[in-house]
């Protein structure tokens, strides 16, 4: 089990909120103490934003969105105290019914805690910059930086982390995670499956098979062709245009390398900063690499879980299918963040970060 997690330390670090800054049990009876209302876990947003400024901020407008923003920032404030402290903070962030999809594997809270226990015994995880926090209704998409140090080898690596999380309002106890998706399916997938039951493994396989066997309808209506599984309200003409451009990006990708190369000139600025996993590509680089993925791996983008839009930023969580030369197919998920700007009166993407495996 240690081998699995030392080779893929990103497998269970996907809860940026998941570490407590408090140690031990609080004094007093259970009737006197409600952990969710403890001031240690409710530092004001204004204070936290000074300590953890978001590089590319998006607004939190409603009380619900502000509650999510505050809980996320408090999690950043309470990081890296070890597993026991992480579990203690988890009482604030999660409910017993919370679900977390860790690098593609759907886990109950207990299973997720088991995976985190092993991870935090093998890795020292330190928070870095908070890049994005896009909040729409009860959903948020976040992107942040971490450094992971393998406790056995001492080797430290930078690891960008992406998450899409749905929250639920628990009244006095505040916003808690209902279900979250952290990280993208990759090399740690089989190891993470060892934490779930046989029944859950069967359900996991069924979900993967359904994605692999997706047949896109023959229609020019992209909202019908790529329906969003978990829709959020997208307000305003510009925001709607951003969503439609993202759907067009999926569709042009699926039309082949030549079509996508032409579309890239429309979708991206010429000086695009195209962050793809650990690399930053130019326009030529993204076209060349897209050609490899489209032609050599037959990568098709088939299912959309989320599209969140706020001001100039949008985030998408989607699934794609890769076909091997042996005919076998495998599904992977992708998490992307796009910044839109107007160039000569035309809306284009000048920055983006994509995390996916294929």
Are residues 308 and 134 in contact, defined by beta-carbon separation less than 8 angstroms? Answer: yes
Q: Which of 158, 163, 55 is nearest to 104 (CA)?
A: 163
What is the spatial distance between Cα 13 and Cα 150, in angstroms, rounded to a whole number? Answer: 13
Q: Could you tell me where the DSSP H helices lie in 13-167?
A: 45-51, 63-77, 83-93, 109-122
Kindly state the helix (H) or strand (E) to which residue 352 belongs, with its residue range. strand 346-356
Checking DSSP bridges between strand 346-356 and strand 268-276, what pairing results, if any? Answer: parallel
Q: In what order do the strands lie in the sheet with 279-281?
A: 279-281, 268-276, 346-356, 329-343, 313-323, 300-310
Which residues contact residue 31 at a Cβ distance below 8 angstroms, ignoring those fewer than 6 apart?
Answer: none
Q: Under CATH, which architecture does the 214-356 domain have? A: Roll (3.10)
pLDDT tens digit at each of 358 positions of the chain: 433 343 334 444 434 333 344 444 444 454 688 999 999 999 999 999 999 999 999 999 999 999 999 999 998 888 766 778 788 888 999 999 999 999 999 999 999 999 989 988 898 888 888 999 999 999 999 999 999 999 999 999 999 999 999 999 999 999 999 999 999 999 999 999 999 999 999 999 999 999 999 999 999 999 999 999 999 999 999 999 999 999 999 999 999 999 999 999 999 999 999 999 989 999 999 999 999 999 999 999 999 999 999 999 999 999 999 998 898 999 999 999 999 999 888 999 999 999 999 8
Total residues belonging to the chain: 358
The Cα-based distances of 97 to 41, 110, 222, 274 in angstroms read: 21, 10, 34, 38
Checking DSSP bridges between strand 54-57 and strand 123-136, what pairing results, if any? Answer: parallel
- Count CB neighbours of 316 within 10 A: 26
Answer yes or no: same fold for 2-196 and 214-356.
yes
**The CATH number fitting domain 2-196, selected from 3.50.50.60, 3.30.413.10, 3.10.450.50, 3.40.50.300:** 3.10.450.50
- Residue 41 φ/ψ region, left for φ over 0, alpha for ψ in the -120 to 50 degree band, beta for the rest: alpha
Q: Which of 244, 226, 225, 224 is nearest to 234 (CA)?
A: 244
Q: Which residues of 252-290 are buried (b: 16+ CB within 10 A; e: fewer)?
A: bbbeebeebbebbeebbbeebebbbeeeebebeebbeeb
Domain ranges of the chain: 2-196, 214-356
Are residues 208 and 185 in contact, defined by beta-carbon separation less than 8 angstroms? Answer: no
């Amino acid at each position: 089990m240690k081998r699995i997690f030392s080779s893929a330390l990103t497998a269970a670090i996907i809860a940026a909120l998941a570490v407590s800054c408090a140690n031990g049990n609080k004094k007093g009876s259970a009737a006197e103490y409600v952990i969710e209302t403890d001031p240690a876990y409710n530092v004001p947003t204004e204070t936290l934003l000074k300590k953890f400024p978001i590089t590319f901020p998006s607004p939190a407008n409603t009380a619900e969105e502000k509650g999510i923003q505050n809980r996320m920032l408090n999690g950043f404030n309470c990081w890296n105290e070890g597993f026991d402290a992480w579990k203690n903070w988890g009482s604030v962030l999660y409910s017993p019914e919370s679900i977390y999809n860790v690098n593609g594997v759907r886990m109950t809270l207990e299973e997720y805690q088991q995976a985190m226990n092993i991870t935090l015994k093998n890795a020292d995880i330190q928070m870095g910059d908070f890049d994005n926090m896009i909040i729409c209704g009860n959903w948020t998409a976040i992107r942040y930086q971490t450094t992971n140090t393998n406790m056995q080898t001492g080797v430290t690596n930078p690891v960008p982390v992406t998450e899409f999380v749905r929250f639920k309002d628990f009244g006095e106890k505040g916003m808690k995670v209902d279900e979250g998706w952290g990280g993208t399916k990759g090399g740690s997938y089989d190891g993470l499956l060892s934490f779930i039951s046989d029944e859950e493994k069967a359900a996991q396989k069924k979900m993967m098979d359904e994605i692999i066997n997706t047949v896109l309808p023959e229609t020019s209506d992209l909202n019908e062709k790529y329906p969003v599984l978990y829709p959020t309200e997208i307000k305003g003409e510009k925001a709607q245009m951003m969503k439609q451009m993202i759907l067009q990006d999926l569709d042009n990708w699926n039309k082949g390398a030549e079509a996508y190369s032409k579309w890239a000139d429309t979708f991206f600025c010429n000086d695009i900063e195209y962050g793809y996993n650990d690399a930053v590509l130019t326009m030529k680089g993204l076209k060349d690499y897209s050609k490899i993925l489209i032609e050599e791996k037959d990568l098709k983008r088939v299912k959309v879980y989320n599209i969140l839009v706020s001001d100039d930023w949008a985030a998408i969580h989607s699934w794609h299918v890769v076909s091997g030369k042996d005919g076998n197919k495998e599904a992977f998920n992708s998490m992307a963040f796009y910044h839109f700007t107007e160039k000569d009166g035309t809306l284009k993407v000048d920055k983006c970060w994509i995390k996916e495996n294929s």
